[in-house]
Chains A and B, each alone.
Chain A
Amino acid sequence: MSFSASSLSEDEFFYGHKACAGCGGSLAVRIALKVLGEKTVAVLPAGCMSAVGFNFPQLCFANNAIISTFAGTASMMTGIEAGLRARGIADYKVVGFAGDGGTADIGIQALSGAIDRGDDIIYICYDNEAYMNTGTQKSSLTPFGARTTTTPVKGNRRDKKDMFEIVAAHGIPYAATASVGYLNDYMRKVAKAAEVKGTKYIHVIAPCPTGWGAGSDETIELAKEAVDCGLWPLAEYENGEFSLSMRMKDPSLLDSHIRRQGRFKHLTSEGLEHIRELRDRRWDRIDKKWNVDQGRRTR
């Protein structure tokens, strides 16, 4: 099924929350739930989306939703899925929304366990590239060069962990990367995940204007540019094959994309060059390993 602005359900399942204005993560949650519909149990660990959505008596999910332990998003999803099945409730989906820290750091063990078991769940990582809920500390998905409150002087010295390939290495039935800058693509992937049996993983880049040092109205442009300049390739992994969803549009956009963000203000030209090298090396690997037919990059 294809989704667009006009065909998308008018139901709002994540509403009235206290996320910062322009929050990319809340958009990722909102749109996924609109695609999945009311027969969905949302599971959210500690993090921005649970903090802004579940403050009794202000409860912002219209569907069944629960906060999980921070490290236990995937395992709580497993329990819910098994429990609903035991009750004979067969037409519900269980979706998790965990941040980059909740996924790639503290929650990676439980996620790996769920994929290993093949649990029938949809795990969505909304990646804003740092621990934003606690005020922008480095996670293992913080990109090279980004300043956080725990990499306050030089910026982060490490590249982002590649969660997409880590998850794919488990032999997961379906995994995808997405961006809140390309919602039609994201919606298609969420809808596809809902059709696949077994564990599904979607990693959606979701800019945080507060933590990235950008205006609240820049979220979507930043998320689009990250894809367009090749920093965040949109792809899928299915039946053991990688495929690109969209080609890199304009590699030269990289400089302006980085320079407009406050978190990279301090970055030297060598730092910027290193980011370019990391990107290009990644694309070299993509060229060698992935099926790039349907989305050959321009260079």
Chain B
Amino acid sequence: MTREFISGNDALAHGVRLASPKVISAYPITPQTTVVERLSEMAEDGSLDAEFIHVESEHSALSCAIGASAAGVRTFTATSSQGLLYMAECLPYAAGGRFPIVMMNANRSIALPWNIYGDQRDSLMLLDSGWIQAYVQDAQEGLDLALMSYRIAEHPEVSTPFMINMDGFHLTHTYEVVDVPDKESADRLIPPFRPVGCIDPGSPQNIGFSAGPEHNVFFKYKAHCGMLRARDVIKETEQAFSRIFGREYSGLTEGYRCEDADHVLITLGSISGLCRGAADAARAEGIRAGVLRIRYMRPFPAEETVAAVSGAKSIAVLEKDISFGGTGTVFANVGSALFSAGLNMRASNYIGGLGGRDISIGDVRKIFSDMAAGKTGVRFIGIEEGPE
């Protein structure tokens, strides 16, 4: 193990290197670019025994990764924002085919208006594409998840592609001290890739077929079940990770002072640390505040969320996303989980950080005071009037 002062993108690239993918296909887009720069360096200097394929678009990046995965090797790609949307067709393709591809997405705003900075509308727009979606909060978690993602995605009970989301610039370009594991330890975590149903010289396969109305639903059902089984595999993988590396992760969510909280703020990604600070400040003012960080949006942590907030008087969801004319996507998912569990507390949805706009600790403290004051509804941070 070495300790290095590196960016989130560098950390993620190290995680990918340690997982030893054989084929990497990627197309540059800010703020993902330095991930693929690092990986192409590693492939050229021999520190990573992989072929780096210079594809001519994001659609080809994922089509190529699907091909390599179908040929039976471990693959990686990375993208962001418009690039993710350009390859969107290939996402459910990879998921339906159960190709355990790992992709890093640098969360970035969606045009129009154009903007290169971070928000989460890109990946949340594709929440239904059948990929495991994880959201990390710092560079170390990015590296660690790059490692764990392969064990989870490739687990025969799961066999589902995995998207690691890192907030653009806030994480991708911020330098932190990161523990970089050694290769031997990484190999103990990740078994060799044993693909199922891939191109096979001994037993030829027809792959990626059509299935009519009679059969189609069964494939969708099985993909759904595979994703649900990822819940246990994620826990089991984190336990194995902790045994090898000593760092603990908490499954699909991470709670902070939720146990006795009256008001729980639910959020995801790099803003979580600031939210925890705001919760401490709110508690100093007599508001019993807690924070629940969602680490995985798919599989969705319905049970964990319900358990974390069941004693609360109100919840709010803070997210860098809005589905125009509706609510934020995270809020919609949380609301569905709480309603299905029979919980009926006050709920509000705070939309912040769009186009990379800063969310201050004051903004989050205000959310806690709003919750204590019984406010509900969908509000945009930084815009006083609520939407009509």
Seen from chain A, the residues whose Cβ lies within 8 Å of a Cβ on chain B are 38-39, 41, 43, 50-51, 54-57, 59-72, 74-87, 89, 92, 109-110, 112-113, 116-117
| Stretch binding the partner chain, chosen from B32-40, B59-67, B342-350 | B59-67
**B204 interface contact, C-beta 8 A:** yes
Specify which of B59, B61, B215 lies most central, judged by the most chain A CB atoms within 10 Å of its CB: B59
Enumerate B21-63 residues with CB–CB distance to A below 8 Å. Answer: 22-23, 25, 50-51, 53-57, 59-63
Q: Are A62 and B204 closer than 8 Å at their CB atoms?
A: yes
Other-chain residue from A55, A77, A86, A109 in contact with B210 (beta carbon distance below 8 A): A55
**B107 interface contact, C-beta 8 A:** no
Specify which of B62, B63, B93 lies most central, judged by the most chain A CB atoms within 10 Å of its CB: B63
Q: Are A80 and B75 closer than 8 Å at their CB atoms?
A: no
Other-chain residue from B23, B56, B201, B206 in contact with A83 (beta carbon distance below 8 A): B23
**B112 interface contact, C-beta 8 A:** no
**B113 interface contact, C-beta 8 A:** no
Q: Are A72 and B59 closer than 8 Å at their CB atoms?
A: yes
How far, in whole Å, are A72 and B77 apart by their CA atoms in the complex? Answer: 15
Specify which of A55, A75, A81, A84 lies most central, judged by the most chain B CB atoms within 10 Å of its CB: A75
Other-chain residue from A64, A75, A92 in contact with B205 (beta carbon distance below 8 A): A64
> Using Cβ atoms and an 8 Å threshold, which residues of chain B touch A82?
22-23, 51, 53, 64, 67-68, 71, 73
How far, in whole Å, are A72 and B57 apart by their CA atoms in the complex? Answer: 10
Q: With A76-B63, A78-B64 as given contacts, are A56 and B71 in contact (CB-CB < 8 Å)?
A: no
Q: Are B53 and A79 closer than 8 Å at their CB atoms?
A: yes
Other-chain residue from B56, B68, B93 in contact with A113 (beta carbon distance below 8 A): B56
Q: Is the interface of B mostly helix, strand, loop or mixed?
A: mixed
Q: Are A110 and B57 closer than 8 Å at their CB atoms?
A: yes
24 pairs, A vs B, C-beta closer than 8 Å: A38-B204, A39-B201, A50-B210, A55-B211, A65-B207, A66-B70, A68-B66, A69-B63, A71-B60, A71-B63, A74-B60, A75-B60, A76-B64, A76-B70, A77-B67, A79-B67, A79-B69, A79-B75, A80-B71, A83-B70, A86-B23, A109-B56, A110-B60, A112-B56
Q: Are A75 and B55 closer than 8 Å at their CB atoms?
A: yes
How far, in whole Å, are A113 and B70 apart by their CA atoms in the complex? Answer: 20
Minimum CB distance partner of B211 in chain A:
A56
How far, in whole Å, are A116 and B75 apart by their CA atoms in the complex? Answer: 22
> Using Cβ atoms and an 8 Å threshold, which residues of chain B touch A59?
206, 209
Q: With A83-B73, A86-B73 as given contacts, are A75 and B63 in contact (CB-CB < 8 Å)?
A: yes
Q: With A64-B204, A69-B89 as given contacts, are A51 and B71 in contact (CB-CB < 8 Å)?
A: no
Minimum CB distance partner of B22 in chain A:
A86
How far, in whole Å, are A237 and B204 apart by their CA atoms in the complex? Answer: 33
Q: Are B71 and A87 closer than 8 Å at their CB atoms?
A: yes
How far, in whole Å, are A92 and B50 apart by their CA atoms in the complex? Answer: 20
> Using Cβ atoms and an 8 Å threshold, which residues of chain B touch A71?
59-60, 63, 89
Q: Which 6 A-B pairs have the closest CB atoms?
A: A79-B67, A83-B71, A72-B63, A113-B56, A75-B60, A79-B64
> Using Cβ atoms and an 8 Å threshold, which residues of chain B touch A50?
210
> Using Cβ atoms and an 8 Å threshold, which residues of chain B touch A72?
59-60, 62-64, 66, 90
How far, in whole Å, are A64 and B61 apart by their CA atoms in the complex? Answer: 22
Minimum CB distance partner of A86 in chain B:
B22
How far, in whole Å, are A80 and B75 apart by their CA atoms in the complex? Answer: 11
How far, in whole Å, are A130 and B227 apart by their CA atoms in the complex? Answer: 40
* Chain A min CB distance to B131 (Å): 16
Q: With A79-B71, A82-B23 as given contacts, are A54 and B59 in contact (CB-CB < 8 Å)?
A: no
* Chain B min CB distance to A112 (Å): 7
> Using Cβ atoms and an 8 Å threshold, which residues of chain A touch B377?
none
Specify which of A51, A60, A79, A84 lies most central, judged by the most chain B CB atoms within 10 Å of its CB: A79
* Chain A min CB distance to B283 (Å): 51
* Chain B min CB distance to A211 (Å): 21
**B311 interface contact, C-beta 8 A:** no
> Using Cβ atoms and an 8 Å threshold, which residues of chain A touch B70?
66, 76, 79-80, 83
Q: With A76-B66, A79-B23, A116-B56 as given contacts, are A65 and B206 in contact (CB-CB < 8 Å)?
A: yes
Minimum CB distance partner of B60 in chain A:
A75
Q: With A89-B201, A113-B57 as given contacts, are A54 and B208 in contact (CB-CB < 8 Å)?
A: yes
Q: Are A79 and B199 closer than 8 Å at their CB atoms?
A: no
**B72 interface contact, C-beta 8 A:** yes
Enumerate B205-243 residues with CB–CB distance to A below 8 Å. Answer: 205-212, 215
Q: Are A67 and B73 closer than 8 Å at their CB atoms?
A: no
Q: Are A67 and B208 closer than 8 Å at their CB atoms?
A: yes
Q: Are A43 and B60 closer than 8 Å at their CB atoms?
A: no
Q: With A69-B93, A83-B71 as given contacts, are A54 and B63 in contact (CB-CB < 8 Å)?
A: no
Q: Are A63 and B204 closer than 8 Å at their CB atoms?
A: yes
Minimum CB distance partner of A73 in chain B:
B63
Q: Are B53 and A54 closer than 8 Å at their CB atoms?
A: no
> Using Cβ atoms and an 8 Å threshold, which residues of chain B touch A112?
56
* Chain A min CB distance to B43 (Å): 12
How far, in whole Å, are A180 and B120 apart by their CA atoms in the complex? Answer: 51
**B200 interface contact, C-beta 8 A:** yes
Given A54-B210, A59-B206, 4 additional A-B pairs, CB 8 A? A64-B200, A64-B206, A79-B66, A109-B57
Q: Are B67 and A56 closer than 8 Å at their CB atoms?
A: no
Q: With A82-B68, A83-B70, A87-B72 as given contacts, are A54 and B209 in contact (CB-CB < 8 Å)?
A: yes
